[in-house]
A and B are shown apart, each in its own frame.
Chain A
């Protein structure tokens, strides 16, 4: 019992460490909030006029759920950067030499990143409301949609932790920052996959980003929504967790080899 209590307490201490970073060094958090807004403005107002929404409708109403998903995808690099920075500076070693709950390093990361992503979603939703996006489903459907987005972020958390531990080189974060773009474009975030060559369209349709975007569009009642993706939008993130959680645990253990 008491070891579980310490695991929670230590995890919260580690989360508070990140919250203290936000206060002392707000620039990265502010950028993580403003950059998606910039993208909404660019795609909504500069490019969006030339993009047809599948089945017709307002492009910004179509775009916003996709942008919510994309900001969850940006989380991978945030998590990875935090993990590699601690590992390369020896801070992770210090934590490992302290008689704290070993899980706290990861629990703290999880708490801080999920809070950050929830904050990003609040800001993005406000931005969406300002540019004409509306949730047309009920309150329950709307909350469920945000729940799916956070579930996807939780899956990406483990991808980020694994990459951060396995690569252990802050320079490699740049590679992930670059890769986020083609992976995001190979999805239904900006355009319908059936406008792509059929084999690419098939990959784009099953991209986990697309699956969550399709499911949340359905829940928000957005234009261009396709029915039937809710189940897949739960399974895909769980599958990612099932793969990357054990890989992360293994990478953490390998630190002592």
Chain B
């Protein structure tokens, strides 16, 4: 296990940030921590990267206890926090050489590593400019580069694309994928469901300091019923007959949205269900405005899980 978290607890005054948090991240995988603001994501990352002490429970990173073997942990991790934690006055290259020296590389090795990382993160041309003049995406890429001077075993990314435009986000995603290809284990926190979907092998959905659901993106989606077929009829009067047809095909009663003239039902065999539905509606002479298969998004998962918790 690259990251092992066992009943971790942390409170700030009256506020409980982590309430018996459990997590296992196998080496070489990407784990996405998905949750709203204040769920405890950042607190967990700060404890795992030795910046915060915990109040109870236990955590190991790369095989070392974060509380008692902090220096061993620091040699094996990279941390990319919510701010681009780089020196704004210095150039990108100077930043990387500074951090290289602090990782105890020789001057020559730090210089070589800086060149390598600037190249890899597409900053070779702007390496000598002051970071102040960088765009948001460039800063974040420099921040990523600084987090992997020593090619870390475990990389912590705390909301790495918050505040970036779509282009900056794609740049960061590409950089993360290239790290993963080299075998780095990544623990990623995000509020963006598509980001977890794009990058993570495993997702832990967290709320109020606990993991409330876990699994692969596909497993989580299947928990709320798999794919659905949606039919929008032209006339509200056709909703009844169309619903009967759909009921036969899906073997469950479809959900009906009268305002949108929309029917929706879960299906197992996507393509067969789609062809059957089109044929049946056509044969019955029901005019259709739209018909589509929809995969559930992680938004659906998250809303379903947290709604369930609120109503329980």
Contacts and interface: CB of A to CB of B under 8 A. Distances in A.
A96 B146 CA distance: 14
A10 B102 contact: yes
Given A89-B83, A97-B74, A97-B79, A256 B103 contact: no
Contact of B74 (A9, A17, A98): A98
A160 B148 CA distance: 32
A122 interface: no
A250 to B, nearest CB: 14
B79 A17 contact: no
Interface string B58-98: 00000000000001001101010111111111110010001
Interface in A4-20: 6, 9-10, 13-14, 17, 20
Given A6-B104, A93-B81, A17 B49 contact: no
Contact of B89 (A9, A21, A97, A98): A21
- Give the residue among A17, A25, A104 with the most B Cβ atoms within 10 A: A17
A6 B51 CA distance: 21
A256 B67 CA distance: 11
A90 B51 contact: no
B90 A256 contact: no
A17 B81 CA distance: 21
A99 B74 contact: yes
A20 B88 CA distance: 12
B98 A97 contact: no
A84 to B, nearest CB: 14
B241 to A, nearest CB: 61
A13 B102 contact: yes
B50 interface: yes
A163 to B, nearest CB: 21
A91 B53 contact: no
Nearest to B76: A99
B50 A91 contact: no
A25 B82 CA distance: 26
Nearest to B83: A90
Given A94-B79, A99-B71, A24 B89 contact: yes
A96 B265 CA distance: 53
Nearest to B107: A13
A89 B85 contact: yes
Contact of B53 (A17, A20, A89, A257): A257
Given A6-B104, A94-B79, A98-B102, A255 B85 contact: no
A45 interface: no
A17 B110 CA distance: 14
Given A93-B81, A95-B102, A21 B90 contact: yes
Contact of A25 (B51, B81, B89): B89
Contacts of B75: 99
Interface string A170-194: 0000000000000000000000000
B297 to A, nearest CB: 31
A118 interface: no
A257 B130 CA distance: 33
A100 interface: yes
Interface string A1-45: 000001001100110010011001100000000000000000000
Interface of B: 46, 49-53, 71, 74-75, 77, 79, 81-91, 94, 98-99, 101-104, 130, 146
26 contacts: A9-B104, A10-B102, A13-B102, A14-B102, A17-B98, A20-B89, A89-B83, A89-B88, A90-B81, A90-B82, A90-B84, A91-B86, A93-B46, A93-B51, A94-B79, A94-B81, A95-B102, A96-B50, A97-B49, A97-B74, A97-B77, A97-B79, A98-B99, A100-B102, A256-B50, A257-B53
6 nearest A-B residue pairs (beta carbon): A90-B85, A99-B74, A90-B83, A94-B85, A100-B102, A97-B79
Given A13-B98, A25-B89, A94-B146, 17 more contacts: A6-B104, A13-B101, A20-B89, A24-B89, A24-B91, A90-B82, A90-B83, A90-B85, A94-B81, A94-B85, A95-B102, A96-B51, A98-B102, A99-B75, A100-B103, A256-B51, A257-B53
